[in-house]
Amino acid sequence: MSKYNIAIVGGTGIVGLELLKVLEERKFPVNELRLFASAGSSGSSLKFKGSRFKVQELRRDGFKDIDIAFFAVDSRISKKCAPLAIQNRAIVIDKSNAFRMDKDVPLVVPEVNPDAIKRHKGIIASPNCSTIPLVMVLKPLHDYFRVKRVIVSTYQSVSGAGLKAIQQMEKQIKSKIPSSQFSIRNWYAFNAIPQIDSFGSDDYTAEESKMIRESLKILNDYSIKITTTCVRIPVYCGHSESVNIETDKPITVATVRRLLGKTKGIKVMDNPQEGIYPMPIDVAGKDDVYVGRIRKDPTVKNGINLWIVSDNLRKGAALNAVQIAESLIF
């Protein structure tokens, strides 16, 4: 089997660390591994397959002979550094929002639109951590019933805001009451914040707008009407979504369960009478997207409600990126 030279930009961040874990767990054929991070992390080391790898500050020649470069950094750094990787003939798999809506950049969930990978011109974008589980559920239902309208409310864990946010929440739990060292807008503990990212002129947050635009691009059907509300809640790991779906064709709970039950990457966990439904604490560390609370919406002709939960650091981030890389080489 061929082996590949791999770079991770943002190797010491919460997603970068998860990337290392997933690459090792899935036995990705790594030849050489280079870890890049900010100057503050340069010189530290991380463990991978029993060896320690030194973290470097990114240089212009850092991508020489790299085959695949994972970017787990913010959009600003991706926009600046991804072109350097492409100049060195590396393929970039980017987790940021930098290139997702670029018409020349495929936005990929391998279980949903794997053929889009073939159209890449050096960069492949991985979607938002809340978009990925949504489109995985919508795809089989859209193919069978023709989805025409979707209403989504997300309940997103603090890990989605990064390691510093988790550390903030831990301090807040101990202090129990808001203190002047934290913005009240970032008071994660014992709270629900109906704002993730900045507000646009339409009063939707960037997170909400991303979910809408990305879902339509991945599903390649701009006729679907989608509206979203995204909320940050005091959970360490795992994003949850309450989803209301209206379809053109008659839809039944039994058929939804059957379709989702045979869809790769989805696990149906749905027996409410026995208290069985997915929760973040159930899915942390797991690769699949879990679906439960499947029930008819009696207020519309063809409507269904369901509840989606997934580990935002795995399928929502690191795992999806690694699966894209696997699609490139296998």
Active site residues: 129, 239
Cα–Cα distance between 246 and 147 in angstroms, integer? 6
Dihedral of CA atoms 262, 267, 268, 272 in degrees, nearest 10, equals 170
CB 55 within 8 A of CB 37: yes
The two tokens of residue 209 are 């707008």
Cα–Cα distance between 98 and 78 in angstroms, integer? 6
* Encoded amino acid at 251, one letter: I
Cα–Cα distance between 7 and 20 in angstroms, integer? 10
Closest CA to 221 of 315, 304, 149: 149
Run of H or E residues at 187: none
Cα–Cα distance between 330 and 327 in angstroms, integer? 6
CB 219 within 8 A of CB 142: yes
147-156, strands of its sheet edge to edge: 225-232, 147-156, 239-247, 303-310, 289-296, 266-268
Measured in residues, the chain has a length of 330
Secondary structure of residue 9 in the 3-state scheme: strand
Which residues have CB under 8 Å from 31's CB, separation 6+? Answer: 3, 4, 5, 6
